[in-house]
Chain A
Amino acid sequence: MKHSDDLRHIADCAECRERFTANVLPFDSARRRERANEFAATAAQLQRERHGAADVVTNELRDTPIDDWPRLAESPALRNNAALEQLSEEVRKRLERNPAEALAIANVATSIAESISGYPPMVIAQLRATALRDRANALRYLGRLDEAFDSIETAEARLSDFAGAAHDRAIVWLIKAMILAQMDLFAEAEEMITAASVVFADVNDPPRFLQAGLVYGNLLGRQKRYAEAQNVFRDLLKVAISSRDVETQARLHNNLGHCAVYVDDYSGANIHFSESIARFTDLGLRAEVPRTHLGAAQVLIGKGQIESGLSRLEDARRSFLDLNLFREAGLCALRIIEVHIDRGETARASDLARVVIGEFEAAGIDTRAVQAIENLESSINADGATGETVRTVHEFVQRLAAEEAQAS
């Protein structure tokens, strides 16, 4: 075996490690002992808290009316690291589904973290940065980007005195890059995401390295730099394959499909979309299958590939129906109706509208949605419907769904 001072080699080779560290003098042994004791005591404290805090956050959130959640910041049971970790998990779970609730929880966590004590300054900085980062992310989901940016800047500042917090800092940079990208500050976002990726690679954190790569590729895609985005996604695919991360492989194939459409490689696009769907199906993520079809259809139709797009829309609608997701299936049908109307196939458009009305009625979907589609059907039959009319109905049905989700 070839020995060297290469750090990756030293990580695994006891002999070289010994040689490399041979001349390091124990400088201040008393201080060193003090630090070792602090480390062991903190480790034990965090372990103890984790063991003793099972479901404390779930229970508190469940037993407290949502309007009273801010008061939870005073609850002694939540004023420790384990509870803050659970709060962070609750934020994560709600981000997609209910970002307003996620923000309310992140605010509780931030209040606690900003006033917590009883840990070494380094750990306190990590707790604060995590809470502020979660808060920034929730604000980002809500589209409150200026506030999100302020919060993520504060998170970064909390870590600024601690050189050893490289991994935490990189995670903050990842969220900051997402916020900057949403603010259309592409150059700044790119710089941030590159810096974060280097850290994730160096600390051997493939999930976050892949996540950062996806953000970077999307950033390039938003700037219409599709060929560069393709290269990024292809490189990431190799990482995802080597780390056997099938879900990320599925997402990457989907993104490669989109890139291929934009560079007019339609057969390549179809292969990637099919690969993506096959992997989502293998993983049992059935809801992702129609979403992938739908995304593919939209981009194909947008590029004038009507037949392939229509076929994907029909696949998406079938998959939604298989999952009993009637509203989503109906929204897909409205996309199909739009295509029919654009091609002058009014009879087919009208027939499909009638089918959707039946499905919505049978599924007990909001009567206002049913009424809107009935009006659309009448309009089609009277030869008065245009693509714009269908889009208006689509938006209306979608808005009703969003309102319903908010209310529940």
Chain B
Amino acid sequence: MFAGPAFHPSSEAQPPIAPPCVIDESDFGELYSDNLRLLVAIAVRKFQVPEVDAEALAHEVFLSYLKRKNEIRDLNPWLIGAICHASRYFWRQRGHRTDQLDQEKAVLRPDPASAEIFDVLPSQLAVREILELLPQRYQEILRLRYFEGYSIREIADYLGVTAKYAQKLVGKCLRLAEETFNARARNKR
């Protein structure tokens, strides 16, 4: 007989089922600051994305939201879904597998990054805690020097001071960090 159309296709671009969440222009800054920490935390804690990259990923997610905002029904699940996929894509682009490692293989071949985790992690956590207690400017100088690998000359350029003064500042920040650490240790005892 004759061949008929098989199935009913969906219409090309369907409107959102529920109205999108409406956000006032003045609220955009608030939206960013309210959610940035969460997105960065997800990328870092759930996907082990380095913190510097995690912030960049979160920023991309926010920007991509602006184009899609009229069709987003529920902001929080959208942001969370988007940062999870962004984190997976981040690792895929770097040739990492994002699947869970087979448990037996994991035992036989431990991840070198976590081999001495129990020795290293407490110090890392302590450093972070101490850093948080320092004034903003000191935090920034130590972060540039020890987390981002800036040279003294580069820090000097960044702060608009001489290299000699930058060297002094880094030393001063370190001393303050040490004092804070010791004071905290004494208090704990």
Contacts and interface: CB of A to CB of B under 8 A. Distances in A.
Interface of A: 7-8, 10-12, 17, 20-21, 23-25, 27-32, 35-36, 38-40, 42-44, 46-47, 81, 92, 95-96, 120, 122-123, 126-127, 130, 137, 162-169, 199, 202-208, 210-211, 214-215, 217-218, 221-222, 229, 243-245, 247-248, 251, 254-255, 258, 276, 292, 294-295, 297-299, 301-302, 335, 338-339, 342, 387, 391
B25 A298 contact: no
A339 B1 CA distance: 8
Contact of A39 (B4, B46, B62, B72): B62
Contacts of B51: 24-25, 27
Nearest to A391: B2
B15 to A, nearest CB: 7
Contacts of A36: 29, 32-33, 36
Nearest to B24: A47
A222 B131 CA distance: 61
Contacts of B57: 163-164
A332 to B, nearest CB: 12
A254 B8 contact: yes
Contacts of B29: 36, 39-40
B149 to A, nearest CB: 13
Contacts of A202: 77, 81, 84-85
Given A20-B41, A164-B64, A164-B86, A248 B10 contact: yes
Contact of A208 (B1, B8, B14): B14
Contacts of B62: 39, 164
A325 to B, nearest CB: 17
Contacts of A28: 52, 55, 140, 143, 148
Contact of B37 (A24, A30, A339): A24
Contacts of B85: 166, 199, 202-203
Contact of A298 (B5, B9, B90): B5
B132 to A, nearest CB: 6
A329 B59 CA distance: 56
Interface of B: 1-17, 25, 28-29, 32-33, 36-38, 40-42, 44-46, 51-52, 55, 57-64, 66-68, 71-74, 76-78, 80-87, 89-90, 93, 128, 131-132, 136, 140, 143, 147-148
23 contacts: A11-B76, A11-B80, A20-B41, A20-B45, A24-B41, A35-B55, A36-B36, A122-B64, A123-B67, A164-B60, A164-B62, A166-B86, A168-B64, A168-B68, A199-B85, A202-B81, A203-B81, A211-B10, A215-B10, A221-B7, A251-B9, A301-B2, A338-B2
A42 B66 contact: yes
Given A28-B140, A222-B6, 18 more contacts: A20-B41, A23-B128, A27-B147, A29-B140, A39-B66, A122-B64, A126-B67, A164-B57, A164-B64, A165-B64, A168-B67, A204-B78, A205-B78, A207-B16, A243-B17, A251-B9, A295-B5, A342-B1
B82 A166 contact: yes
Best-surrounded residue of B5, B8, B80, B143 (most CB of chain A within 10 A): B8
Given A7-B84, A163-B93, A302-B4, A204 B64 contact: no
Nearest to A236: B10
